[in-house]
Amino acid sequence: MEITLFIIAVLGLLIAYLTYKKDHIDAPNEKAKSLSQNYQFAERSTRELIEELEKYVSTNNAMDEHFMQGLTFSQSLTFLKSAHDKLFSDDISKDLIQYPSLANDGLKASIEAHIKHIQEIRTYFKFYVKKDFNA
Cα–Cα distance for residue pair 30/121, rounded to 1 Å: 30
Q: What is the pLDDT of residue 103?
A: 59
Enclosing domain of residue 26: 2-134
Supply angle C-alpha 119, 120, 122, rounded to 5: 60
Give dist(CA 56, CA 51) in Å, integer.
Answer: 9
Cα–Cα distance measured from residue 45 to residue 89, given in angstroms and rounded to the nearest whole number: 15
Give me the number of domains the chain comprises: 1
Q: What is the pLDDT along the chain (135 residues), one digit of tens a residue?
A: 678 776 777 677 777 777 777 766 665 677 777 778 888 899 899 999 999 999 999 988 888 888 888 888 899 899 889 888 888 877 777 777 666 666 566 777 888 888 999 999 899 888 877 765 554
* pLDDT value of position 50: 93
The Cα–Cα gap between 81 and 95 comes to 21
State if pTM tops 0.85. no
